Each structure stands twice: as structure tokens, then as C-alpha cells.
Amino acid sequence: MSTSKVRSRSTKRRNDEQQQTNVQNKITTNLSGEKILFPDEYSTKFSPAGIHVVFADTSSEEAFAAVTARGPIVFAGSSISTYGTQAACCQYQLPLSVEKKTNNHKSYMSVNMAALGVIVDKLVAFWKVPAARKKFPWIFLLITVLGSILKESELVPQTYFSSSKNVLNVYFVKVSWGWTLLLLTPFLLLSNSTIRRSYSFLGSRLLSLVVATFIWYVCTASFFYIEDVTGACFEDDALSIIKKDLTSKATCRQAGYRWQGYDISGHSFILSYSALLIMEETAPMAFLKTANLSALNKMVLNLLYMALNLIMIMWVWMFVCTSVYFHDPSHKLLGTTCGVLSWYITYRFWYLKSWSPGLPPQQQPKKQKQRA
């Protein structure tokens, strides 16, 4: 390629960038030399034809001739009145390269949103299958039993996830309840307010998260208490010398020793309970796929629903790792039972009663009654 052609393309690119900068600055000079700020409603409205701007000037052809001399401004119509000032409506024709870049960006976003919509449709279709929802709780009990067998028989080799310092455990599982609420709360607010515009209904749905948080707190606090009252402090892993003056896990570990007690698996509890909670509270998405939503609301709901399903998959995976690599079998079985039982008591018993927060909108057997 010749040097002149390269120089020509480079010059054209600089000119295009300069023209775009001029538009973004949103300032022009009228015949009197006064600086004028473009109204945002015109200066930021992109279309395939270009960007529409308004010059605070008269509508005379002489004025437009002066403006046109400074750049590719095209007279597009008669004068209009804006903000009490006589103004002329013009159209700034974007350079072709800039226009193409804008259109490519829009196409890229459209493709991404379409792909997200397809994935969400698949997930909604999966969770609408009664067998999937019915068998999901039993999967946790099955994983606990099989994982415990594999751990005790030492059939599974050590991996990155056999260390409690793996990234998913440190930054997600240890604060799993926070992650669950962080994603579930906005989804619950947006989805339920779209389905039924009632403060009492929305309040009842928020109350279900309060109940879930109370269950989480009581169970985890109970686990810590049981470990304290059933344990003792030892100087080393051999459990040979007991430090009788240290009577709690907190003081024992603070002194650099090891506490040995009945350690019910908090991971088995919180991961199973969080996953089951997400399954129940995301059920309204089946209705929202056919609802008349704005583009923004639809995008936000799709993103939240996708994120909740991803984090549910993460919880299941880390539940598997807990079952295979950590805790004694009875510790895991009791923790999992607490998680599944907490879900069952609320969503399969209490929430069917009229004096409860009620179930989220979902397809239910005819004999069940859903509270408004």
C-alpha cells in the first residue's frame, strides 16, 4: 500500500474523530459569536440518519450558510421555538465510519440480549417441569450420601476444591446468604410488583425473605452452640492434650489451639437451603415471559434470573465438594436435613396456610390455595 493512501486514511480518521468530538462538545457559535449549549434532547439523539441538534439562531438562509461553512450541517426544516428562543432545526450528518460503529454497537447489544432471552426461556421451561422441582430437594440428600461414601473410601483424589481456601469458598460460600439475598431481593421486588401492583402482596413476598433469614440465623447459631457444648480444646491435631481452661471454640482458636466438637455442616445446610429458596422465589418468571414489559424491565429481569440460576449451580457444585471432601457423614447429613426440612416446613406446609406470607405466583395443584 502506498504511503499516500496510508496518509489519506489516517487524515480521514482524524477528521472523523474531530467531527465527532465537535458534536460531543455540544457547543457552537452563532453569528454574534455567542457560545450556545445544545439542548441534550437533540444533541444526544442518535439515529441512522445522524445526530439531531438545535442551533440557537434565526432561520434565515444566510445564518445557515455561515453554520454550514464550519462543517457538514444540512438544513432539515423550518424554524422551531425551543426554550422560548427562536431556533432552527438542523441535522448533523455523522461521518460514515462513526455511523457504522454506532450501528455495529447496537447490533452487538441486540444479539447479546437475544441470546440471553433464549437461555432464560430454556431455564424457565426446565423449572416449569413438575418432576424437576419435585426431585430437586432429594438430590441434596442423595449427594450427601454418595459424597460421604466416596470420602470415607478415599476414592476421590485431592483437587483445587479440596482446599477450603479455594476462591469459590472464600468469596462466595462463606457469605452465601449475602449473595443469595443480594440477587433475590431485587428480582423479588421487580417480578412481583409487575405481576400484581399491591403493597400488601409485595410485603408478603418480602416477609418470606425475612422468614428465611430468621431460619438461617437460628440454624447457624444452633450449630455453633452445639459445637461449643460438645467440644473440647486440644493443643494439636493428635488430640492428646486438653486445654481445660479454654471452654469455647472462639477462645480456643484464638489461642492457636484446635477445638474438637460435634460440627454440624453449615455448608450443607446453607447451600441446600439457598438453592431451594431460589427455586421457589424465581417461579414467577414463568408468568413474566408472556407479560407486557418495557425493554429495560425485561432486560433487568432476564439478567437477574440468569444470575440466580448461575449462583444456584455454584451452590450445588460447592455442595458436592463439601460432601466429597469435608466433615463426617453424620455432620453433613444433619446439615442437609436441616436445609431441606426448613424449605419443606415453609414452602410445602406453612406457606399454604392463610396466616402465612403465602407462596410466590406459580403453577400449583388445584387442591392448593395461594394467598393473594
Residues known to be catalytic: 267, 327
How many C-beta atoms lie closer than 10 Å to residue 109's C-beta? 11
Q: Coil, strand, or helix at residue 101?
A: helix
Nearest-10 crossing angle of helices 176-195, 266-281: 10
CA angle 298, 182, 116 (to 5 degrees): 30
Do 335 and 264 touch, CB atoms closer than 8 A?
Answer: yes
CA angle 258, 218, 255 (to 5 degrees): 20
Q: How far apart are CA 270 and CA 335, in angstroms?
A: 8
Question: Cα(115)–Cα(131) distance, rounded to whole angstroms?
Answer: 27
Task: Compute φ and ψ for 368, nearest 5 degrees.
Answer: -85, 145
CB 35 within 8 A of CB 27: yes
Strand ordering across the sheet containing 46-47: 46-47, 50-55, 85-92, 73-82
User: Residue 334, Cβ neighbours under 10 Å: how many?
Assistant: 20
**CA–CA distance, 176 with 167 (Å, rounded to integer):** 13
Spacing of C-alpha 249 from chain mean position: 36
Q: Evaluate whether 314 touches 168 at the Cβ level (below 8 Å).
A: yes
The answer to whether the beta carbons of residues 183 and 304 sit under 8 Å apart is yes
Distance CA 263, CA 324 (A): 16
Q: Are 88 and 55 in contact (CB under 8 A)?
A: yes
